[in-house]
Every structure is written in C-alpha cells, then in structure tokens.
Chains A and B, each alone.
Chain A
C-alpha cells in the first residue's frame, strides 16, 4: 500500500501530504513486529469466549434485540460455560465498560494531581459506604469517607499526602477490609494485606 509518489525537489512542508510516501522500512518493521509476537494460546482465547458468555448470562434481556426467551439448550450450554469459567483462572475485569456487569474483584487506581492524591475504587458489588484508611489518617474509618461517583458508581477520595510511602486499605460498610489487587501490596504480617503508594516529590 503506497501513496502517490511525487517527483522533484520537495520543500519540507508539514501540510503537503501529496509528497508523503510510506516508509518501506518502517512498514516492514511494523509488520515484522506483528509476525514476531507469539500467538495467543488456545487457553487465552477460550478464556475470552467463556468469560463473555458467562458475563452475558446474567443479562439475557440485553443480549440482542429479538428473541428474549433462551433456547432449551442455552441452559445446558450455560451450565457448561459456568462450570468452565469458575474453574478457569479467575477473570479480572475492569469496570470501565459502561453498561456491562461489575468487575469480579475490586479495581483501584491512584492518581496524583498537584499535591493531592486521588484514590478510586470500583467494587464487585453494591456497598453503602466505603472508607479510605491508612497511616496518613491513623487508620480511622471516619476520617476519609469515600464518595460515590454518579457516572459510573466508583468510589473516590482525595487526600493531600506528603511525598513518600503510604500504606492504606479500604473498609466497606464498616466491616470488610479490601485491598486493590493490582496496586503494590504490603503482605499480610499478622493483620491482613494492605496497599502501598509512593507519592512523587522531594522527600
């Protein structure tokens, strides 16, 4: 796939697209990279299929326009799919696809903006209240209640943290302690796991 070739001297001009030709070496390199990437294995592909089917099992009305009543063999297929999906490596889902089911594990995010650090948390199930606790607020459940975002139901809190390492966790409905599974973990040392965040800046 090459564009028109233009003969003669070219004055370098960003807007002059007619002189632009595909760089053959670059094209080759990109294609080579595609080819060199190891193919996803059958297990990964199967995981995708079963996860999609399992997730849509919970929302039959949303599947597609038209027939809402599942066919008789859906039941058998659904049972098989559920068995497979439960026994497969746990699916981690991000909650950022609107209209789709909740994630299967908490999904957290820490973002720094200026001198504040924002903690976001998407939960697998409904919660009445979520508190952010950590060494910056004496692990006090009442100190930093999280606010539920209206657009996607995620919980959020902002704190001003000095640069350095801070250990934290989330408390759901005043009793259940959760960690962000993908954030750096502080391993269980007799209490249960917690998370660590390292805030940028001179220390």
Chain B
C-alpha cells in the first residue's frame, strides 16, 4: 500500500476507532448518533491493529509518542510520513519535536516548528543536492530558517562534496546571526571552505567572530575580515616595511 493511501486509511480508521472507543461519549449522544457506532468493533480493532503494525514499525518514523499529547503525536506521525514520502529524513524532525516537548512548548507550536523545518529541509535538499547527507539537510534547513537564502547554500555546496559541508553551514549560520552580512559571510566561508581540510579553520572563524562580536558594533565583521586575510595570506610576505623603533624620531634642532 502506498504511504499516502496508508495514511488516509489509517486516519479514517483512527477516527472511527476513537468514536467506537469512547463509551462515555457514546452514552451521552443521541440515539441517531449512537447508531453509527454500531460497527463491528472486533473487525475494526484488528484492522487498526494491522495498520498500526505496518506503519509504526517503519524505523524512520519511530519516536516516543508518550512525550506528546495524543493529538500532537498523531499529527506528528502524519508530518513524518509526509516527509518520508518526499524523500526527506525524519530524524531531524523527530529531534525538533522532542526538543519542543522538553521545552514544554505547546503542541501547536511543536507542529508548526516541525512543519517549517520539514519545508526548509525540502528547500535545502533542492539547494544542496540529492546526494546531501542528513546532517547537511538539517544544517541547511537551519540556515534557511535563519534567513539565509537558498542560492547561498548552493554556493557553499560548490566548495565541498556531498557530506562535507556541515561545518561550513554551521559556521555560516552562526556568523550571520552575529551580524555579518550574508554575502560577506558567504564569501568568507567559501574562501576558507575551498581549502582542503579546513574545518578547523572554519571553526576558528566562528570563534573569532563570536568573541569579537561582543566587543562592540562592527567588531564581528572586522574580525571576520582579519581572519580570512590571515588564513589566505599566511604564505605571502606582508607589505609592511620594517621600522626599527616605536619611538618617534626627534627632528633635528633647527
């Protein structure tokens, strides 16, 4: 059964099962309504159970539903299923959901965050390419959600083969958040990322920008420029002429 059809059937059965399994509601309803509950509960239950087994065993979609209220858990399952159908990894979405639960955030907000992150991952997949790893899609989605455009992600991708762009994406997201304009940040990150084995250098860039951003306005950008200059020009001799002393030379008495 195709995932979408499976979901629709599951949802329909879930609704019926809920109607069937609420004796209090059944008891307080009018006679006309109660007629609809006269379904073969045994047959229904076994059908629901079999769908249950097929769906929830999907390894990608597993999560601890107990951490959410029933409605949220159910809606989450739909979102995860939808993402999987689009070829997106569900682990990052589960992580976001669990984070929301831990922060004791409302179910509505959790769902909206997960939905937005899923959409961002889809966009990240398009920008970073089909061969991108889960971590790259997750980091890419975070970058997009923070206001960085898809085209910038594509430029970053051009510097690193599939699976190796995570650090660059993390650093890019961070320095932009510290106030560096996106295009400047993109240039800086890609300049360094093109150098082989430069993940440490990228993290060094993040570190200096973060520290210096606290020293005052414009300091983050200054630090970024200084760092990139230093990283690239290290093997080249500087243009500073050697002077012999810090003290000013006294002019001869005239």
Chains A and B touch each other in the complex, with CB atoms below 8 Å apart: yes
Partner-B contacts on A (CB < 8 A): 25, 28-29, 31-36, 43-44, 89-90, 92, 133, 135, 138-141, 164-165, 167, 177, 181-187, 189-192, 194, 196, 198, 200, 203
Say whether B138 contacts A89, CB under 8 Å: no
Comparing B4-12, B182-190, B239-247, the segment that makes contact with chain A is B239-247
The interface residues of chain B, by DSSP majority, are classed as helix
Q: How far is the CA of A141 from the CA of B219 in the complex (A)?
A: 36
Given contact pairs A35-B243, A165-B170, A140 touches B199 in the complex (Cβ within 8 A): no
B residues 97-145 with Cβ under 8 Å of A? 98-103, 105, 109, 112-113, 116-117, 133, 135, 138-139, 142, 145
Q: Which residue of A lies closest to B143 (CB)?
A: A187
Say whether A164 contacts B135, CB under 8 Å: yes
Q: How far is the CA of A191 from the CA of B216 in the complex (A)?
A: 27
Q: How far is the CA of A82 from the CA of B214 in the complex (A)?
A: 19
Report A-chain residues with C-beta under 8 Å of the C-beta of B139.
Answer: 165, 196
Say whether A187 contacts B166, CB under 8 Å: no
Say whether A189 contacts B142, CB under 8 Å: yes
Say whether B166 contacts A165, CB under 8 Å: yes
Say whether A164 contacts B166, CB under 8 Å: yes
Q: How far is the CA of A124 from the CA of B89 in the complex (A)?
A: 39
Say whether A138 contacts B171, CB under 8 Å: no
Say whether A191 contacts B103, CB under 8 Å: yes
Q: How far is the CA of A43 from the CA of B242 in the complex (A)?
A: 29
Nearest-Cβ distance from residue A153 to partner chain B, whole angstroms: 23
Say whether B170 contacts A184, CB under 8 Å: yes
Q: How many residue pairs bridge A and B at CB < 8 Å?
A: 108
Nearest-Cβ distance from residue B222 to partner chain A, whole angstroms: 10
Whether B191 sits at the interface, judged by CB under 8 Å, is no
Q: Which residue of B lies closest to A25 (CB)?
A: B242
> What 5 pairs between A and B have smallest CB-CB spacing?
A139-B102, A28-B242, A135-B95, A187-B146, A190-B113
Comparing B16-24, B45-53, B202-210, the segment that makes contact with chain A is B202-210
Q: Which residue of B lies closest to A192 (CB)?
A: B103
Whether B152 sits at the interface, judged by CB under 8 Å, is no
Known: A31-B244, A139-B99, A189-B117. 15 other contacts (CB 8 A): A32-B241, A44-B215, A89-B215, A133-B102, A138-B64, A138-B102, A165-B135, A183-B210, A187-B142, A189-B113, A189-B145, A190-B109, A191-B100, A198-B167, A198-B203
Whether B194 sits at the interface, judged by CB under 8 Å, is no
Whether B173 sits at the interface, judged by CB under 8 Å, is yes
Which of B207, B210, B241 counts the most chain A CB atoms within 10 A? B210
Q: How far is the CA of A25 from the CA of B243 in the complex (A)?
A: 10
Given contact pairs A138-B64, A165-B138, A165-B170, A191 touches B105 in the complex (Cβ within 8 A): yes
Say whether B207 contacts A182, CB under 8 Å: yes
Whether B87 sits at the interface, judged by CB under 8 Å, is no
